[in-house]
Structure 1
Amino acid sequence: MKKTLKNIPLVYLLILVIFFSCSSDDDATVDPDDDGGITQPEPVEALNLAEYDNGSRVMMQAFYWDVEPRFEWWNTISDKLGTWSDAGVNRIWIPPASKGQSGGFSMGYDPSDYYDFGEYDQHGTIPTRFGTREDLENLISKAHENDIEVIADIVLNHNSGGGLEYNPYRKRETYTLFDETHGNASGIFNRNYEDFYPNSVNDYDPPSLFYQETNLDHHREHVQNWLWKDENSVAKYYKNVMGFDGWRFDYVLGFEDFVIKDWLEAVGGFSVSELWDGNPNVLRNHIEATGSGVFDFAAFYVMEQAFDRNHDLTGLTNDQVWQTNPEKAVTFTANHDTEKDGNEDNIIAPENKLKAYAFIMTHPGYPNVFYLDYENPEFQDQLNKLIRIHNSLATGSLEVIYADNDEYIMQRSGNAENPGLVLYINTSGNTKRRTITTSWDTRVLIDYSENSNYSPMVEENGEVTIEAPANSYAIWSITK
């Protein structure tokens, strides 16, 4: 029988016992072949992690920037759904699925016709960059057959690809005419300059990084009706006709919080907002105002700084959204934007990527796996192990046992039916060991990430000496 832990409340305690030291702490550095004077037990049997289902799963970002091959992406990821489901993925986030101004080259973030999923001949193509409407419908159907929800990427502020018309509020021609012959071949949600800022009832011209003149005014009744209120609105059509299960709201800095709140009240579903801000309080305020989850950019930058910029793992204890709102924090190590712009402050270095995944897979929050990371043959085996650990042993209250510039040790307490785990990250060039006090007693431990073959015995008082290989990590728990 599977030991199911759904609906068990978690109290996340950050009990920081931090010792500030440098990488020359010789007491922790060991020869990896040295048993440390501890008698190694006879071979032991690992837990069957399939028997410890804590109800948690992970999401897959099922694309990267400028995916190839063009016109075949929906079919490409359809073929992977069974494997992803078996690995422990329960949602996929796909790119904006409707026709953009760039036609067959568009990644969907220049939306023109919200209802053209690859069936109308406009912007130089019938299919979108990702394929035809039939391909998309097949993808969604196959995902549901594999118990995977499909999350639509929704771009709600900036439009692109309309026709020129004279705009009396800007006193010049603007590309604000969207109808059957001007970028909206579906003929649904036709719009003109009155639907964008400024207009006859709203002279406000809000700042926007994208397409200033085609920035939708969400206060306009016509816009609200077609985005989420009417029975044939974008929100209801995507949910009820296309079969999408939830929403990733793009660039939420470009519109007001009430838009997401009203959208979710109209159609519900899982949601996560792209609020690109490393301040955890800004992210928490958005959660409170909208009811939506957020990508935990605070956690992303904490990891980037700890592993890459500052080389100081005490930073992993800094304020992050998952600490207070674990059910609303989508944690991640990379996405299509962080991996394409080349900004060293917006990317976690490849050599530190798996350590970052070990962090998010063992801590509270809802981890998101980036497609290119999962499909990287150097990462995939370890990512599968981390997902399996996340979905089984990563439960219970959290205690940070030790942190310094190159070591970080954390325990999840588990519960009466689940032993929990201990994560040990080591960024130094040497294998390290630490004696810690755990909630276990007289049990043999093994590393379920399989990065270490050391198997120490816990003393009656809970003390045990664990290790982490050089520039790596280990995830410890009990054996049978």
Structure 2
Amino acid sequence: MKKTHLLVSMLVLTIFSACRNNDENDNENPRNEEVHSKIVNVTNHDGRPFSTGSGSVSGKFVSGPGGGVLMQGFYWDVPEGGSWWNTVTGKLTAWSDSGIGAVWLPPASKAQNGAYSMGYDPTDYYDFGNFNQNGSVETRFGSRTELEGLITKAHAENMQVYADIVINHNSGGQSQANPFTGTSTWTDFSAIASGKFPRSYNDFYKNSYGNNDEGAFGGFPDLCHANPYVQDWLWGRDDSVGKYYKNVMKFDGWRFDYVKGFGPWVVNNWNSNVGGFSVGELWDSNVNTLEWWANNANSSVFDFAAYYKMDEAFDNGNLNALNDDMMWKRNPYKAVTFVANHDTDIINNKMPAYAYILTHEGYPTIFYRDYEEWLNKERLNNLIWIHNNKATGTTSILYTDNDEYIARRNGYNGNPGLVVYINNSSSWQERWVETNWSSQQIKDFTGNSTWYPTTQGDKWVKIQSPPNSYSIWSLNQ
């Protein structure tokens, strides 16, 4: 939910630019595939080839032993004009070739501001750019046909597609007399073009079910999930929002917006009735709160605890912060890690942060603008390859100080794991570390170091990391 650029007037018909700010079943967890990932040949920032693997192959993405990587396929205020679905479609093959296993899309249905809306002010959940309402037929992102083409193309590339779901609040209703407030409220959604999920004042707080729930947002009508009618339309009936998105539009999972605004039981019920991968935006740095929500929602959650600790570590010269508690340490299968998103982008020293999330446990997310516009794509592709092929097993932190951080992934099911060495200092650093490997040659799979050391019989070895950068070590195979 965008925390800025919000202008709401409930005294007139127009509400301006909308807000933005699991135990998963194994067959729905994009990280549980135990098959081989593609190898990608890329170059280092100084032109030398990255050391990634023994060759290259082509074809559709298949998750490697390290699991999958999620691409956030948008940013705030992507170009208007209905071209975004086609823009993303044109990138899917390259993303798949790089090892991206899923793409998260912005809210896809028609919203209050029609062709100008980022979708976080939903009006008609079943209008994907095929009805003339709210001033346009297409959404900001394009037509329903183009969206369906994107999803079809992603599936052909063996990628999943996650829908951003905004069910805390609605916008764009007509005025009606409301006996629970004694005023007129913008809660009449009886004339929506799709004819599906018509709503009135009793479907929003305050109403016969009470005065409020966990939280409202920005003055928008606050949807009442306690109402069985609302529950039925969101996840119960065969043509409910969730089941329509999954069975008709073919979305594979859900990113739930602003879950602070309603109880975790809502997401739990959605997941139980609809299925698919799910992650909640619970904007809270308290890992206890994140874990509580994830367990009660039966869902993954964005790891805001790790996000703020990475800012402290990589921007403020304190890598010891990475010793602190995070959601991925509590339950990696319910932690979605990230370096930036459409709402918040506070980490400046991003490449070490990506090296961190792509070598550690959790489900890592790549932000569109970081990948396509702002950072070195080849270096990110190298990290994605390392994640998919080497980042396996539990994590052991081997050494930390203000400038240095070394951790080991302990390997799993025959995969050797890795050692990651992050160096925030202005000079090369070296450390003796205990590895997973006895009397075997290792190498830095980033290509940053040219060393090819052999581990001792007791598994110890000296490794190095370049200044203001990182190295990632595993068996030379």
- Normalised by the shorter chain, which TM-score bucket? 0.7 to 0.9
CA distance in 1, matches of 2:390, 2:125: 42
Report the residue type matching 1:327 in the other structure.
Y
Residue 211 of structure 2: which of 204, 213, 236 is its match? 204
The partner residue of 1:326 within 318, 324, 332 is 332
Offset of residue 231 of structure 1? 1.1
| 1:289 alignment counterpart | 296
Of stretches 75-84 and 434-443 in structure 1, the one that deviates more from structure 2 is 434-443
Runs of 4+ in 1 over 4 A off after TM superposition: 5-8, 49-52
TM-score with structure 1 length normalisation?
0.85
Summarize deviations over 1:39-80 as a string: whole Å, max 9, x none.
xxxxxx975387993151101100000112530100000011
C-alpha separation in 2, matches of 1:136 and 1:213: 27
8 Å Cα contact 1:49/1:392 also seen in 2: no
Given that 1:158 and 1:214 are in contact with CA atoms closer than 8 Å, whether structure 2 keeps it comes out as yes
Cα distance, 1:375 vs. partner? 0.5
Q: Which amino acid aligns with 1:293?
A: S
Contact 1:143 1:149 in 2 (8 A): yes
2:321 equivalent to 1:315: yes
Shift of 1:438: 1.9
2:194 aligned residue (174, 181, 186): 186
Report the Cα offset of residue 462 of structure 1.
Answer: 2.3
> SS in structure 2 opposite 1:117?
coil
Alignment-mate amino acid for residue 479 of structure 1:
N
Question: What SS is found at the alignment partner of 2:332?
Answer: coil
Q: CA deviation at 1:240?
A: 1.0
Indicate conservation of the 8 Å contact 1:160/1:211, yes or no. no
Q: CA deviation at 1:7?
A: 7.5
Answering whether residue 72 of structure 2 is matched by residue 61 of structure 1, we say yes
Structure 1 residue 89, shift from structure 2 partner? 1.3
Q: Is the Cα contact below 8 Å between 1:46 and 1:446 reproduced in 2?
A: no
Partner of 1:24: none
* CA spacing shift, 1:50–1:390, aligned 2, 3 Å: farther
Native 8 Å contact 1:60 1:369 kept in 2: yes
Secondary structure of the equivalent of 2:193? Answer: coil
| One-letter identity of the residue aligned with 1:348 | I
By how many angstroms is 1:440 displaced? 1.9
Summarize the Cα distance change of 1:321–1:378 in structure 2 as closer, same or farther, 3 Å threshold: closer
The alpha-carbon distance between structure 1 residues 49 and 322, as it changes in their structure 2 partners (threshold 3 A), is farther
2:17 maps to none
Q: Any conservation in 2 of the 1:245–1:270 contact (CA below 8 Å)?
A: yes
Q: Is the partner of 1:242 in helix, strand or coil?
A: coil
d(CA) in 1 for partners of 2:448 and 2:469?
A: 8
SS at match of 1:152: strand
Alignment length (residue pairs): 426
Q: Percent identity?
A: 50
Task: Tell me the distance in 1 between the aligned counterparts of 2:55 and 2:462.
Answer: 23
1:141 paired residue among 119, 136, 152? 152
2:415 matches 1:418:
yes
8 Å contact 2:422–2:469 — kept in the other structure? yes
Q: Deviation string for 1:308-345 (max 9, x for gaps)?
A: 23x21111011011112111111111110013xxxxxx
- State the SS of the aligned residue for 2:146: helix
What is the CA deviation profile of residues 367-424 of structure 1, one whole-angstrom value per residue up to 9, with x for unaligned ones? 0111111113642101100010001111123211110000001111224622211100
Find the counterpart in structure 2 of residue 407 from structure 1.
Answer: 404
- State the secondary structure of the residue aligned to 1:190: coil
In the superposition, relative to structure 1, how do residues 254 and 329 fare at CA in structure 2: closer, same or farther (>3 Å)?
same
Label 1:203 to 1:419 Cα distance change in 2 as closer, same or farther (>3 A): closer
**Deviation, structure 1 residue 171:** 1.4
1:111 aligned to which of 122, 131, 134:
122
Partner of 1:391, secondary structure, is helix
Partner residue of 1:471 out of 465, 468, 471: 468
Contact 1:399 1:412 in 2 (8 A): yes
How far the C-alpha of 1:455 sits from its partner, in A, is 2.7
Cα-Cα RMSD: 1.9
Q: Which residue of 1 aligns with 2:372?
A: 375
| 1:465 alignment partner, SS class | strand
Q: 1:136 to 1:416 in 2, by over 3 A?
A: closer
Does the CA-based 8 Å contact 2:216-2:222 persist in structure 1?
no
Whether the aligned pair in 2 keeps the contact of 1:176 and 1:213 (CA below 8 Å) is no
Tell me if structure 2 keeps the 8 A contact 1:362–1:423.
Answer: yes
Rounded to whole Å, the distance in 2 between the matches of 1:226 and 1:416 is 44
Unaligned runs of 5+ in 2: 1-30, 35-50, 58-62
2:97 is aligned with 1:86? yes
1:193 aligned partner, one-letter code: Y
Q: 1:306 to 1:173 in 2, by over 3 A?
A: same
Q: Which moved more, 1:460-469 or 1:90-99?
A: 460-469
Distance in 1, matches of 2:245 and 2:101, equals 19
Residue by residue over 1:277-328, the C-alpha shift from the partner in whole angstroms, topping out at 9 and shown as x without a partner, is: 111111111121111110111111111111123x211110110111121111
User: Any idea what the Cα deviations from partners look like across 1:70-106, whole Å, max 9, x if unmatched?
Assistant: 3010000001111111111111100000011111110
Letter in 2 for 1:358: A
Shift, 1:212, TM fit: 3.7
1:197/1:214 contact within 8 Å kept: yes
- Distance in 2 separating the partners of 1:478 and 1:327: 26
Q: State the one-letter code of the partner of 2:107.
A: P
Within the candidate set 337, 344, 347, 2:343 is matched to 337
Q: Is the partner of 1:150 in helix, strand or coil?
A: strand
- Residue 386 of structure 2 corresponds to which residue in structure 1? 389
Q: How does 1:222-237 map to 2 (within 5 A)?
A: 222-237=229-244
Paired residue secondary structure (1:89)? coil
Higher relative contact order (CA 8 A, sep 6+): 1
What SS does structure 2 have at the residue aligned with 1:474?
A: strand
Map of 1:258 onto structure 2:
265
- Say which one has the larger Rg: 1
The Cα shift of 1:443 comes to 2.6
Cα 1:468–1:49, aligned 2, differ >3 Å: closer, same or farther? farther
1:300 maps onto 2:311 in alignment: no
Distance 1:284 1:129 in 2: 35
Residue number in structure 2 paired with 1:76: 87
SS at match of 2:389: coil
User: Aligned partners of 1:145, 1:219: CA distance in 2, in Å?
Assistant: 39
Is the counterpart of residue 363 in structure 1 residue 355 in structure 2?
A: no
Deviation at 1:206, TM superposition (A): 3.7
